[in-house]
Amino acid sequence: MKKKLLSMLLVSSMVAGILSGCGTSDESGKKVLNIWCWNDEFQSRFNDYYPEVETVAKDKSTTTLKDGTTVKWTIHPNKDNVYQNKLDEALKVQADASADDKIDMFLIEADYALKYVDEDADVAMPLSDVGLSDQDLADQYQYTKDIVTDGKGQQRATSWQAAPGLFAYRRSIAKAVLGTDEPEKVQAALSDWQKFSDVAAKAKDKGYKMLSGYDDSFRVFSNNVEKPWADGTTVTVDKNIMNWIEQTKAFTDSGYNNKTTLWDDAWVKDQGVDAKVFGFFYSTWGINFTLVENAGEEGKGDWAVCNGPQPYYWGGTWLVAANGTDNVDTVKDIMKKLTCTKDIMKEMTLNQEIQDYTNTVSGMKEIAESAGFKSEFLGGQNHVALFSDVAPKIDMSNVSPYDQGCNEKIQNAFKDYFNGNVDFDTAKKNFEASIKEVYPDIKEVVWPE
Amino acid sequence: MNGKSSKKKVNYAKWGYIFILPFFVTFFIFSFIPLVDTIRYSFFEYYRSGLKEIGPNFVGVHNYKELFTTDLPKYASNTFILWIIGFVPQIIVSLLLAAWFTDARLKIRGKQFFKVVIYLPNLIMAAAFSMLFFTLFSDSGPINSFLVDHGIVDGPIRFMATVGGTRGLIGLMNFLMWFGSTTIMLMAAVMGINPSLFEAAELDGCTHRQIFFKITLPLIKPVLGYTLITSMIGGLQMFDVPQILTGGAGTPDRTSMTLIMYLNSHLSSKNYGMAGALSVCLFIVSAVLCFFVYKMMNSNDLDGSKAAAKKAKRERRGAKAS
């Protein structure tokens, strides 16, 4: 009998232990806002500039708003499609998820924006349903609206930044190679690819490298293509991509670059003060998000930017209200404050730590024309003035939903070719094989003559 | 009377079944059903395009046909090469260490300490280990800085840009991670040999070398065979080390792309049909290897002495007959 009692007790305590885990997780019924992104860029913008922010958790995993809402950050890296895969899984179960687990807002990048703003996929709420009017969005650059507009003409995402491309160079090295560090004169010396190669040869003679790695100039070429990467089940490699391959191979064989790969350690080191690399192709976000940190305190003031040989853009981040969100009002307010409010965005640009090129046409114009704005990092240059001319001209009509995979795989496949491990045709074959793995619906790859 | 006695007889066997039931239930739900599903999906076209799901549409053996038109043999040989360059040094070093550690005459001090040390790399997660090597051997990493600073080489050696460098690093990592546990297994095998055999050999004036090749090695043959097959099955599933070291691309020129990495690249695009077909092929190969292990473990002729005796008998008969 005693044994039975004891076993009953044990069993009941075990069951109680299991059940106690199922209690309501949210004690006070406060709202939870889930935001998904792939790095901490937007997170820090949000924490610094969203007026409703009350406190930020020590590990930055959550932010508490003034009305008690907890903002939960979910960050997955972009590389190897990890972010998109995780996001796709979560969006698939969005309808069945409990209110606190539903994604309220997620971020997308230019390379795969089309996949998420597609009207058939219907994972992004049209901004008109979120509550943003055309009036609210009027001051944004047109291209940032076009790319996220679906086939029915509904805009489904909004961005706080415009991302015109630039060439950032070391002033000290420019002086040694060209005899000047004035942005206008450097731009004149680099205004087309032929001149660019000439300068690269000169730099090599003086012991410098023109570029750091293979992929540095990729975006300049890939943005100036005639047709999008994919059409139906066919991937077409543009002539200009082949130009990139040709140029990079020539640069590598002549010793004009340092054989690094974008984002790797050696590439980061090449931006340091001891490095011998002339410059880097970047976009406006690259200055604050990457370059400032990589250059370090000693590199401050030793950099300047110019437009480079060809106009281009690179990246850019858009905010999307996830369909099925239970916090539309908060999402709307975040979008409105951070992407439609001129003063907040201007502040981001004026902050010497950030200097982002923000998505307000009139605001950028004001800064461009003001004599007082000088970037300390860029040695007193007003870079906003430089971009306010090119930003309105950005054309994103050649994007396709397959861009991320195509860009990543062609860089990977031809790295072997640049390294001298494989011949040209093998590199082509490797690209074909890997692109069909990423996108099973791609059946054919067409190369230019 | 009769009824009473049958009541008293308690059937304990059913408790045995009840206690092992949880395992079978979880195995059925979490292993068996997915296994059957994998085989089923290998006959379907089933993947994601963007956010749209395509399929499942029945396509017969189309996935298998397509699978064998790809570079599958290349990935299989990659897997084999990567395994063998890790396994050969591993078995040699393990044998040597096992022989030293168990040798009563050598009296190595701190045996326990060394056993722990050589086993330690196995405790690190393979992915972390791979990440560590990636950083150590990168173009601007500490190994290269050391080599350049001491004038051993002119410029940094680009390990990850050459086939030999990448494969060598993967082999080295697999060797470092596994030689400890193999050593410990072989030590157990050597210690299982009757010590009187060693004593007798010594009295007869055997050298160390003779003892090793004539006594130790033949007697631990079954364990060596077991190590070989289990390592082969592990090698077949090699994934995390090359995946992390090459960023999933199997660079350079896909020469470090293993079978499971290839499977993973299908899974990351949610191509369940192709991934299923590949998994079925791998399943068959593993099953064949497992069959050999099973045969070996269950044979009553572990050290091969019976087979040798039979063979000798046959030879004797043959000699007589001729």
Question: pLDDT, tens digit, for every residue of A176-221?
Answer: 999 999 999 999 999 999 999 999 999 999 999 999 999 999 999 9
CB-CB neighbors (< 8 A) of B162 in chain A: 421
Longest dimension (CA), chain B: 98
Q: A99 pLDDT exceeds 60?
A: yes
**Are residues A123 and B51, on separate chains, in Cβ contact within 8 Å?**
yes
**Contacting residues for B242 by C-beta, under 8 A, at least 6 apart:** B82, B130, B166, B170, B250, B256, B257, B258, B261
* A195 phi, psi to nearest 5 deg: -65, -40
Between CA A165 and CA A173, with CA A170 as vertex, the angle to 5 degrees is 135
Give the SS3 label for residue A168.
strand
Which residues in chain B touch residue A441, judged by CB atoms under 8 angstroms apart?
47, 49, 54
pLDDT score, position B7: 59
Instruction: Judge: domain B76-258, CATH 3.20.20.80.
Output: no
pLDDT of residue B317: 78
Where is average pLDDT lowest: A253-267, A411-425, B300-314? B300-314
- The rounded distance, in Å, linking the Cα atoms of A157 and A144 is 9
Residue in B63, B246, B93 with CA at minimum distance from that of residue A412: B246
pLDDT at A211: 94
- Percent residues over pLDDT 70 in chain A: 94
Q: Which residue in B has a C-alpha nearest to residue A438's C-alpha?
A: B269
- In chain A, residues with a C-beta closer than 8 Å to the C-beta of B251 are 412, 415-416
Cis peptide before B222 (omega within 30 of 0): no
The residue extents of the domains of chain A are 32-162+315-369, 165-312+402-446
Give the whole-angstrom CA distance, residue A335 versus residue A337.
6
Per-residue pLDDT reduced to its tens digit, A362-394? 999 999 888 888 888 898 888 888 888 888 888
Q: Where are the domains of chain B?
A: 41-70+269-301, 76-258
Q: Please identify every stretch of chain B with a pLDDT value under 50, giving residue numbers as ranges.
A: 1, 3
Q: What is residue A12's predicted lDDT score, i.e. its pLDDT?
A: 65
Q: Do B251 and A415 touch (CB under 8 A)?
A: yes
Region A26-42: what's the mean pLDDT? Answer: 81
- The answer to whether the peptide bond before residue B56 is cis (omega within 30 degrees of 0) is yes
Q: Which one of B70, B140, B162 has the shortest CB-CB distance to A269?
A: B140
* Mean pLDDT, range A43-48, rounded to an integer: 91
Residues of B in contact with A115 (CB under 8 A): 50-51
- pTM given for the model: 0.82
CA distances from B102 to A175, A262, B71, B96, B215 (A): 69, 51, 46, 10, 13
**Cβ-count burial of A139 within 10 angstroms (0-12 exposed, 13-18 middle, 19+ buried)?**
middle
B313 interfacial to chain A (CB closer than 8 Å): no
Residue A386 and residue A305 in contact, taking contact as beta carbons nearer than 8 Å: yes
* Nearest-angstrom CA–CA distance, A36 and A262: 24
Amino acid present at A26: D
List of chain A residues whose C-beta atoms are within 8 Å of the C-beta of residue B136 = none
Contact A91 B54 (CB under 8 A): no
Tell me the sheet residues that pair with A53: A65
Phi and psi torsions of B47, nearest 5°: -150, 180
> Domain A32-162+315-369 is in which class?
alpha beta
Tokens of A290: 């990457």
Nearest to A416 among B49, B252, B274 (CB): B252
pLDDT at position A2 = 60
The topology under which CATH files domain A165-312+402-446 is: D-Maltodextrin-Binding Protein; domain 2 (3.40.190)
pLDDT at position A340 is 92
